[in-house]
């Protein structure tokens, strides 16, 4: 896909989608109605991908988010909690086949799942952790604020499925953000540098969930990328401060403002949500090395 340069820390950034999902318009664009009302009554759906970003760093392969597990479509007990299943069916229409696994998608890009060294998980919702069982050798990075949700009374009601997260042998590592003196990152105040070389920096962007994070990817050969998970479903909405229909609106607005401040400092910044239908095209036009 991209010409590989060895003098750069980031050799390529690519994306694939593990199936797709339908979400309600109210979920994507926000609504004045109480969320329970639109969840139960809305009949309007928007089809979105469930992206996994694949970053080839000089020291190994890094994924941002791990997609959906095809078992969710074939196994009626994948979500074991009945209330969770009911709301899953009201909130999402999932369209995923047996060939949409993480490993098969990586294979189509020319990589083996065994090559993955690190998975950065933007947050713990089921459509972002589905492939972790296919990369048992990888270190799984998550914010400690997000990990704390696992000990809340009923995380499965918020689509955080412990049985698919706390897999035997899974190498989870909780990230605590530390103060950064890089002026560029000042709006965020704290950060975590994945490799210690500035090429992949995690930033706290709570709102969709309390521990959601984003990752800034920088290489010499292309524009900086900000992978934002589910902070927004559409960059245009983030730029005009239109928050989605779920999440903590105050936290979302605060994180939106920080991302916009970063965009002011880095005008060529490319912001990529996990459910961005245009991601493949955008990355093709903004390859780090070409």
Residues near Zn ion (CB under 5 A): 127, 230
Tokens of 267: 């005008």
C-beta closer to Zn ion: residue 11 or 159: 159
Quote the least distance from Cβ 229 to Zn ion, whole Å: 7
**194 closest CA partner among 55, 12, 15, 287:** 55
Find the largest Cα–Cα distance for the chain: 54
C-beta closer to Zn ion: residue 230 or 234: 230
* CA 53 – CA 272 distance, rounded (Å): 9
Quote the least distance from Cβ 158 to Zn ion, whole Å: 12
C-beta closer to Zn ion: residue 27 or 57: 27
C-beta closer to Zn ion: residue 224 or 247: 247
* CA 21 – CA 46 distance, rounded (Å): 8
C-beta closer to Zn ion: residue 50 or 270: 50
Quote the least distance from Cβ 125 to Zn ion, whole Å: 5
Quote the least distance from Cβ 130 to Zn ion, whole Å: 10
Quote the least distance from Cβ 30 to Zn ion, whole Å: 16
C-beta closer to Zn ion: residue 9 or 124: 124
Quote the least distance from Cβ 21 to Zn ion, whole Å: 8
């Amino acid at each position: 896909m991209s010409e590989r340069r060895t003098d750069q820390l980031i050799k390529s950034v690519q994306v694939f989608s593990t199936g797709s999902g339908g979400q309600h318009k109210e979920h994507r664009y926000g609504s004045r109605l109480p969320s329970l009302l639109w969840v139960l009554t809305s009949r309007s759906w928007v089809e979105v991908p469930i992206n996994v970003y694949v970053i080839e760093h000089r020291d190994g392969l890094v994924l941002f988010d791990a997609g959906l597990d095809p078992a969710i479509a074939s196994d009626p007990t994948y979500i074991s909690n009945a209330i969770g299943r009911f709301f899953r069916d009201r909130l999402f229409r999932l369209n995923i086949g047996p060939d949409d696994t993480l490993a098969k998608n990586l294979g189509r890009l020319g990589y083996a799942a065994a090559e993955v060294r690190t998975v950065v998980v933007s947050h713990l919702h089921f459509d972002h952790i589905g492939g972790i069982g296919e990369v048992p050798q990888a270190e799984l990075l998550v914010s400690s604020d997000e990990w704390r949700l696992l000990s809340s009374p009923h995380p499965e009601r918020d689509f955080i499925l412990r049985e698919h997260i706390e897999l035997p042998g899974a190498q989870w590592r909780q990230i605590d953000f530390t103060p950064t003196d890089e002026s560029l990152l000042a709006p965020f105040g704290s950060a975590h540098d994945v490799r210690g070389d500035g090429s992949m920096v995690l930033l706290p962007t709570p709102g969709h969930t309390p521990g959601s994070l984003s990752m800034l990817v920088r290489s010499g050969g292309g524009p900086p990328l900000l992978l934002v998970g589910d902070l927004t479903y559409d960059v245009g909405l983030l730029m005009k401060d239109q928050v989605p229909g779920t999440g903590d609106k105050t936290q979302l607005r605060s994180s939106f403002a920080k991302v916009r401040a970063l965009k002011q400092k880095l005008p060529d910044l490319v912001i990529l949500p996990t459910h961005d239908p245009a991601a493949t095209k955008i990355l093709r036009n903004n390859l780090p090395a070409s």
